[in-house]
Amino acid sequence: MTGVDEDPRVAELRTAVSRLRRQLAVLPADFPDRGIAEDELAALAAMAAGGVPEIPRLRASLLLVAGAIGSMSALARGLSQVRAAVDLFGEPPRG
């Protein structure tokens, strides 16, 4: 259950990550970087559960997930939804 005062960006991230994790779990194909994708999706879920996550860490996890999943068309929509959710947090500050 989500809190009334919850940041809607966090709720969107949690939903998108959960959806992609489910899609990955039922995917019958095994691929070399599946473990990386699963680990990074778990990290994204933990960040979303902890409140507003650090943008650089979010983006790093997104890149790892995208690289691990590659061009698997069965996961393309779910990955796009996770990316859109991460984009809601904006760009990291440039130093």
What are the tens digits of pLDDT across the range 48-59?
999 889 999 999
Q: What is the pLDDT of residues 36-77, one digit of tens each?
A: 999 999 999 999 999 889 999 999 999 999 999 987 899 999
Percent of the chain predicted with pLDDT > 90? 75
Q: How far apart are CA 55 and CA 60, in angstroms?
A: 9
Give the confidence band of 92 by pLDDT, cuts at 50, 70, 90.
Answer: low
Tell me the average pLDDT of the chain.
90
Q: Give me the pLDDT at residue 1, please.
A: 47
